[in-house]
A and B are shown apart, each in its own frame.
Chain A
């Protein structure tokens, strides 16, 4: 079974609109962490945001926020006021278990294209 599922292979969004990228996860471990990364065409992986399973509040980093719904096992990324530079691949990833486990399980990614 897929541990990280990103159901949107591609998305087109109008500039300045908000966009939500879906991510659902599957784990039986009560301790886990969820990450979102942006990968532009250059290939570099840019860390966006992190949510720990025990965090009480949804994570936010500037225009990025994570809509963490633990019961539904979803960790959607919300980008507010999208910009042309947001066009990239976006990956959701999960780390299971204790904080000492840094191995990430990756989703298939969503290609986001921002239209001017």
Chain B
């Protein structure tokens, strides 16, 4: 069935570098992608909503220049954490609705980011 493939599942990067996380929809067109951040033992926090071919809508308090989101195609959305700092270490997860199947919302497997 349809899934969202998210990579990398785990990444360690040095402070000051950038890291890109990809979410690909398989077998369906992801016109919308939601990007979440999750702190340990906490709920999902919506960072931004991206729509294919347009600029992402960021939630209040989320730095647009730090968390760059690109949704250039119907099957790929990327989140780039720029100039990463240790406080950016977190679990990031994407989700996309399959609009053709009603209420189905698919999640990626998530990415554990550690900035050292």
Contacts and interface: CB of A to CB of B under 8 A. Distances in A.
B102 A99 contact: yes
Interface string A74-116: 0000000000000000010001000110111011110100000
Interface string B58-100: 0000000000000000000000000000000001010101010
A68 to B, nearest CB: 15
Contacts of A33: 103
Interface residues of B, number: 22
A49 B93 CA distance: 20
Please report whether the interface of chain B is mostly helix, strand, loop or mixed according to DSSP: strand
By size class, the interface of chain A is: 20 to 34
A104 B94 CA distance: 12
A47 interface: yes
Interface of A: 33, 35, 37, 42-45, 47, 50, 52, 91, 95, 99-100, 102-104, 106-109, 111
